[in-house]
Structure 1
């Protein structure tokens, strides 16, 4: 892999002409920006990122500006989301530069949602001020756990005190919505451990809580350790009990479950993620980012250095482009829509995709209802509580 792009001065963005792909010039009301930097890669992570390569940040910013210029003109969006990686890993001055650059091209509406993912460790007052000063109104904090042993297993670099301090700084700012991400089914974790994690999260009074079961993705360090037998997943029954506990405990504390993994207080749903679950168009910039416009999906190069090198050379940032057929778009809409607690509404589906839900997948609906995994209200189909435990299995039946 050629990583020489960081060794010299990058081309000045205004002097580079990027080949504009047709699918980037469409219209959408949501935008995602991928920031691929972390202090280190956690063993379970398979996201597009580089760890310990802060020398690439300036080149990344230069390349991102080139890609943004391919939009041709600024776009107004309802939701803007910075993910990673860890966007707040950037030093405060570079974080400020990143936010200002993107805001020139993607301007949130007056009531728009502007979200940034953050790590509790290193989220100092200067970075929080940079977020607030640039209009960020929602932060998703990668807490994962409060238990020191489980944080160590997950190879996280923060501890409980860092979480509390980060929450205090965010609550002391103008950022109105703060969410917490949690991971359950950590090796060695019990249901009682998970109950304690949920209770500690609730005690911090966040506006949103996401709960994700740990997965062992091929190619990650955790996958290798699992194969070697040095890292043992929790039993399926234990993981099921943990998910059931989240579905019971969080609503009791005032959080409404609105998606398989997501719970929110009233008015604090992730509007950006709802764009994905509704299969609506969205922009995506940065390495590994996906854009979906007018039925065409464009995926940027996952290699950070390749994305930087190609973009600064005036070559397209994307490596893959796929145009979906009307039926494939509709089936994907079902797959994503079933993640929502309210499910897939028949009228909305027909209006969005121009197809009749029952003509397309009527027999599958009947089969899944017969198994008790799906509920059909007449107006919509949605997962039952039992269906949420086997959501991947149910969703696969519609593809």
Structure 2
């Protein structure tokens, strides 16, 4: 039974060059109509897949804070009025530095939001321009200060490394800046060039000068060391948290648990079926207005796929996968189901077994995708 909810706001005032999420320029979009239909989709969803109290909510995008204060409040109130919530759910909203003014942040806190994910990416003004972000380095600290003033103290900041022409000096400077901030969580991802992005087109033309794999690995290892010095616990490949501030919502995904999804392009996992909503606004809105759930794809997840996902999602966590939990869930031992893969990866020094846990080694963290591929079972 799902205990987590993701809601997608697909509107942006500016499109980042690396972003392949479902998004549209805000100007001239039917935002109010979209929000009303999103409310209707949520009502239809909860009546079709009833749930106990929801324990985590994540409103992402796009840029949720590109909405007006009134529009965003309508969406948040729709969530509160539709889903049963636990007494103290983790409620996260993605925030863009520069588009989260004092009034909007106060409204978030008053409505029940208690965690923000701030999209900083870098503190270098030239790199911000390169990736087409619409904020300045100083806006990040201002957003943190205003969030605290509004009464929201559980703050996560997103960072990126391996950016075009990014130097180690730029990366170390950004890490120095972020560790000065009163925040509890950091998500830091290396740039992955996806199709249908500006960066992909530049890469195809040979006009995207990226750091090499060795430089990227050095940035990652330096980040591990530096954040640990500042009491950030490395608990997932790309995520670090002060003790007790791990992302409960993202742990839903990494623990391979079910979740609701609402909005254009949103994903969901209910009753053993993974679903993807229509992405284009006209298709999404037409489906909901016709009182249909707006699914583009529905995929029943086989036991084989569940076992695969349990491994390559669970191994993202530094604590790894519990051998006992795997056996309790599937009635089989990890070492039997994936005998060849486990032994191969143990021999390569990419996995280790410690007590009840099977987990990535330090080298395995650097080669995570290679490890995960080994857990795809042949038919």
What TM-score does the superposition give when structure 1 sets the normalisation length? Answer: 0.91
Quick one: which of 74, 78, 92 aligns to 2:55?
78
Q: Is the 8 A contact 2:276 2:296 kept in 1?
A: yes
Partner of 1:228: 205
1:74 shift after superposition:
7.6
Name the CA shift for 1:209/1:54 in 2 (closer, same or farther; >3 Å).
farther
Matched, 1:51 2:28: no
Matched ranges for 1:197-216 at <5 A? 197-216=174-193
2:117 to 140, 150, 154: 140
TM-superposition CA deviations, 1:109-160 (whole Å, max 9, x none): 1232011111002110111011101111100000001110010011000001
CA contact (8 A) 2:185 2:240 kept: yes
Q: 2:160 aligns with which of 183, 186, 199?
A: 183
Could you report, residue by residue, the CA deviation over 1:22-54 in whole angstroms, capped at 9, with x for unpaired residues?
Answer: xxxxx3111111111110211111001111345
**Which residue of the partner structure matches residue 159 of structure 1?**
136
SS at match of 1:172: helix
1:19 maps to what in 2?
none
Secondary structure in structure 1 of the residue aligned to 2:375 = coil
Instruction: Give SS of 2:60's match.
Output: strand
Residue number in structure 2 paired with 1:32:
6
Residue 273 of structure 1 aligns to a residue in which SS? helix
Paired residues of 1:141 and 1:181 also in contact (CA < 8 A): yes
Measured after TM superposition, the shift of residue 378 of structure 1 is 4.0
Residue of structure 2 in register with 1:380 after alignment: 357
Q: CA RMSD in A?
A: 1.3
Shift of 1:394: 0.6
Residues in 2 aligned to 1:380 and 1:295: alpha-carbon distance in whole angstroms: 25
Q: Deviations over 1:270-290 (max 9, x none)?
A: 000001000001111111111
Displacement of 1:80: 0.7
* 1:233 Cα offset (Å): 1.3
2:99 matched to 1:95? no
- Cα-to-partner distance string for 1:35-80 (whole Å, 9 max, x where unaligned): 1111021111100111134532111112112211212278521111
Mapped contact 2:21–2:61 kept (Cα < 8 A) = yes
Give unmatched runs, 5+ long, in structure 2.
Answer: none
Does residue 1:114 correspond to 2:88, yes or no? Answer: no
Structure 1 residues 125 and 135, CA gap change in structure 2 (3 angstroms): same
What is the DSSP-based 3-state SS (H/G/I as helix, E as strand, rest coil) of the residue aligned with 1:195? helix
Q: Distance in 2 between matches of 1:357 and 1:124?
A: 49
Q: CA–CA distance in 2 between the matches of 1:190 and 1:353? A: 46
Equivalent in the alignment of 1:346:
323
Q: Secondary structure at the match of 2:30?
A: helix
Report if the CA contact (8 A) 2:2-2:51 is conserved.
no
Q: Distance in 2 between matches of 1:74 and 1:343?
A: 28
Report the CA distance between 1:351 and its aligned residue: 1.7
Question: Is this contact kept in 1: 2:236–2:317, CA < 8 A?
Answer: yes
> How big is each residue's C-alpha offset from its partner over 1:260-305, in whole Å with a ceiling of 9 and x where there is no partner?
0000001111000001000001111111111112321111112223
Against the structure 1 CA distance between its residues 54 and 250, is the aligned structure 2 distance closer, same or farther, given a 3 Å change threshold?
Answer: farther
Deviation at 1:167, TM superposition (A): 0.8
Q: 1:187 to 1:166 in 2, by over 3 A?
A: same
Tell me which residue corresponds to 1:364. Answer: 341
Change (3 A) 1:296 1:396: same
TM-score (norm 2): 0.96
1:329 lines up with 2:306 in the alignment: yes
Contact 1:330–1:355, Cα closer than 8 Å, also in 2: no
Paired with 1:279 and 1:355, the residues of 2 have a C-alpha distance of: 17
The 5-angstrom pairing of residues 199-348 of structure 1 reads 199-348=176-325
Q: How many residues align?
A: 373
Report the equivalent of 2:372: 395
Contact map agreement 1:75 1:105 (CA 8 A) in 2: no
- Does 2:40 match 1:66? yes
- Please give the alpha-carbon distance, in whole angstroms, between the structure 2 residues aligned to 1:278 and 1:60: 31
Structure 1, residues 290-328: CA drift from partner, whole Å, max 9, x if none?
111232111111222311122112233111000111121
Question: In 2, are the aligned partners of 1:49 and 1:304 still within 8 Å (CA)?
Answer: no
Q: In 2, Cα distance between the equivalents of 1:267 and 1:111?
A: 15
Deviation at 1:359, TM superposition (A): 1.2
Moved more, 207-216 or 293-302: 293-302
